[in-house]
Structure 1
Amino acid sequence: MKRIISSVLVLVLGVCLTPLNVPLMVQPSWGQSRDSQVEEINRLIQEARQQQQAGKHLSAIETWQQVLAIARAFKDRKKEALVLNEIGFNYQSISQPQEALKYYNQALPIRREVGDRAGEAITLHNIGAVYNSIGQPKEALKYFNQALPILQEVGDRAGKATTLSNIGLVYNSISQPQEALKYYNQALPIRREVGDRA
């Protein structure tokens, strides 16, 4: 079933990315001002986020691919990294971890290149989550542990608590409950501090 979905997805995305569709839309020589392109990219981002929230991940991927084409046309590396991360998230949401990793691994060096430390931590965390989901706990821990000090550095308390909890989950899954408790006990007061009752 995954192969069929993957093949259909490649076909759908291939159609969206043909030279007759997206690239013509993003050509500045088309007479559109940069302001209208910014409006278009913002509209597409909003549309993609709505699709994600509605659980329409394949549609969101298509829309994010359009945003990616525009970001690349304007050489907006920060937005390119954001979009790559979002595409990875959507693939992760439809249980296509290898595709998710492909996009996260494209986003990570760009986030480092542009100095987006918060974004770097998010991408590292997401890579860790994928490795955890495919039963590779050592790889998951490697990425979660890279994300943790960056989250501390940028002051993302909620993100830090989530990463601590996920490290606890990994240790629990590999039958190291005492190590898991250590991380859960670090996460708990932060969750209370940021008001995360759930």
Structure 2
Amino acid sequence: MKIIISSVLVLGVCLTPLTVPVMVQPSWAQSQNSQVEELQRLLLEAKQQERQGQRQQAIQTWQQVLAIARQLKFRKIEAIALNEIGFNYNSLSQRQEALKYYNQALPITQELKDRAGEATILNNIGLVYNSISQPQEALKYYNQALPIMRELKDRAGEATTLNNIGGVYDNISQPQEALKYYNQALPIMRELKDRA
């Protein structure tokens, strides 16, 4: 839900500059406005498909979002679409495909100085590496995400990342190291009243 809200908000920000060309070049503006409307429709459709567990359909819809975002040069939405495609491939256990899209999204978020997006994608990459039994690679990405989460004061993201790091250490039979991270995540979750 958080991603769709940010997607729609980002789209709203991207729409603002379009009002000036509408008066100067009506046919171009109408075409662009229809593309923006289509983009909004597709964003909602993709999120609905994800909620319904229709991963393949969601990938196809996000591919359409990606094509329009690239055409309109909406870099933030391009990064979101790439991340979502990666997320859906990961959900389908197609890890290499997921990495392919995450690795395209990451430099865009860095270019845009979208620290929250960057941290999310770093965490997602870490999850993939952890799931394909490459713990050192997973830790590399989690350890890049953690300071960003702290910089942004994203307590939930920080706790999730700490928990993810703990999980890696737990998987590689380093329980003391795992406990170190779990014990940092726990009070944050309590502070946030995240009972789950």
TM tier, smaller: 0.7 to 0.9
- Structure 1 residue ranges, 4+ long, deviating more than 3 angstroms after superposition: 29-33
TM-aligned CA deviation for residue 32 of structure 1: 3.7
Is the counterpart of residue 135 in structure 1 residue 133 in structure 2?
A: yes
Distance 2:163 2:91 in 1: 20
Q: Deviations over 1:138-190 (max 9, x none)?
A: 00000000000001111211111111001000001111000000000000011
Shift of 1:33: 3.6
2:74 matched to 1:85? Answer: no
The TM-score, its normalising length taken from structure 2, stands at: 0.84
Structure 2 partner of 1:154: 152
Could you tell me which residue of structure 2 aligns to residue 55 of structure 1?
A: 53
Q: Distance in 2 between matches of 1:31 and 1:116?
A: 28
CA RMSD of aligned residues (A): 1.5
Q: Distance in 2 between matches of 1:182 and 1:46?
A: 40
Q: Could you list the runs of 5+ residues in structure 2 that have no partner in the other structure?
A: 1-26
Q: Does 1:75 align with 2:73?
A: yes
**Which TM-score applies when normalising by structure 1?**
0.83
The amino acid that maps onto 1:85 is: N
Q: For 1:134 and 1:109, locate their aligned partners in 2 and report how far apart those are by CA, in whole Å.
A: 23
Residue type at the aligned position of 1:59: Q
Q: Which residue among 174, 181, 184 is the counterpart of 1:176? A: 174
Deviation of 1:39 after TM superposition, in Å, equals 1.9
Identity %: 72
1:66 aligns with 2:64: yes
**Aligned partners of 1:158 and 1:110: how far apart in 2?**
24
How far apart are residue 30 of structure 1 and its match? 7.9
Aligned residue for 1:16? none
Alignment of 1:18-33 (within 5 A): 32-33=30-31
Cα separation, 2, equivalents of 1:32 and 1:194: 46
- Supply the distance in 1 between the matched residues of 2:44 and 2:58 (Cα, whole angstroms): 10
**2:114 aligns to what?**
116
CA distance in 1: counterparts of 2:95 and 2:28, whole angstroms: 37
C-alpha distance in 1 between matches for 2:143 and 2:195: 25
In 2, Cα distance between equivalents of 1:171 and 1:31 = 54
Which deviates more from structure 2 when the two are superposed, residues 149-158 or residues 35-44?
Answer: 35-44
1:116-149 Cα deviation digits (max 9, x unpaired): 0000000000000000000000000000000000
The offset of 1:192, in angstroms, is 1.1
Q: Distance in 2 between matches of 1:170 and 1:31?
A: 50
